[in-house]
Amino acid sequence: MANVTVIGAQWGDEGKGKIVDWLASRADVVVRFQGGHNAGHTLVVDGTTYKLSLLPSGIVRGTLSVIGNGIVLDPWHFRDEVTKLAGQGVTISPDNLHVAETAPLILPFHRDLDGLREDASGAGKIGTTRRGIGPAYEDKVGRRSIRVCDLAHLDDLEPQLDRICAHHDALRAGFGHPPIDRAAVVAELREIADFLLPYAKPVWVSLNEARKQGKRILFEGAQGVLLDVDHGTYPFVTSSNTIAGTASGGSGLGPSSVGFVLGIVKAYTTRVGSGPFPTELENDIGQRLGERGHEFGTVTGRKRRCGWFDAVLVRQSAAVSGITGIALTKLDVLDGFETLRICTGYKLDGKTYDYLPPHASDQARVEPIYEDMPGWSESTAGARSWADLPAQAIKYIRRVEELIQCPVALVSTSPEREDTILVRDPFED
């Protein structure tokens, strides 16, 4: 049996939550391996909607859920999300939710710095969620992080606080803010430690044991490949690697354990926040896509920018992330369009590109090359087999496969878990 790694193959918001939930019902373990609580996953299970941003999607079904070392964890948000889900009837305990002992913590001064820098950036704003994700990753790389395991050793925290304050206090002073209140930081950590520490585990041990036992492990990515700090539309990216290879480093399992890589791809394209978007539609068509697709961020509530499907970008994502097959979501949003357009290349300064140039100014200036296809008038909503789809919808899917050079494994036709056409079973591949 193969393990499965699920990643977004666009700019995030592709509908990963529903697909991960569909797969989680057949997995033994679900692992989050990068990002923080800036990732929004919406699940609809038996008519009940669950909104997750930090916890693995498997927790709703009682599947063993793991927050890996590649995550940056806000302990207070962790408590709030656990409490909220428990209030919805979800059973959560240290038996079915494990947190890596070595995961870095997002602390109040990280949120402060995130907001201060974004406010001061003017036209250079990245469009962060202001939740401290980036500054927490910076401290991890700078070897200043306070980690989950430090909560059991708060009396030994002074040397780490020295390193933190030497960095952050200078930045805060530059923004006219007072230095970090060290005593307040320690007091806040003491207050949250009793809640978080029971969940702390050496997750690399339990995951390697699960692998040896032949259990099915589902790795749940956040954001999307085009937001990857190395391979995305830099600098308008997240602060972690979002490609499938990160599942290994962010969990403690070797790269051979990544298994089938399932890229989630929306049948059109959306983006939240700043940054280049070659196929963006700032017209009534873009408005129609947004309204029909309910395109608002799960975490931030921000309206998503909408545009036609960009095959160039998805082909690029598939290549750098080693995607085995894609899950095409929100096909039903395209119902009723007389003509559909697919971007097959770009023009820039008289030259044709079959990939997105790396520099932000070039990315902002490329002109999409479109291929037009006839749409369909019939409804695809709720379709569960190829026989339920209009012929033109099937042609659209097949053309997408050809252009991105990657086969379709699943097609999602509504937020409901069962409204899924299975073409290729990732767990049986």
Q: Residue-wise over 70-109: b if at least 16 C-beta within 10 A, else e?
A: bbbbbbbbbeebbeebeeeebebeeebbbbbbbbbbbbeb
Paired with 201 in beta bridges are 100
d(CA 253, CA 5): 12
Q: Is 13 a catalytic residue?
A: yes
Instruction: Indicate which residue of 21, 37, 41, 310 is catalytic.
Output: 41
Alpha-carbon distances, residue 110 vs 139, 152, 306, 406, 421 (angstroms): 9, 21, 31, 39, 43
Query: Strand (E) positions, 253-376?
Result: 260-266, 269-271, 305-307, 309-310, 325-329, 339-348, 351-353, 367-374
Query: Would strands 48-52 and 408-412 be described as parallel, antiparallel, or unpaired?
Result: unpaired
d(CA 193, CA 199): 10
Q: Is 41 a catalytic residue?
A: yes
Instruction: Indicate which residue of 13, 21, 228, 419 is catalytic.
Output: 13
- Amino acid 148 reads V
Active site members: 13, 41
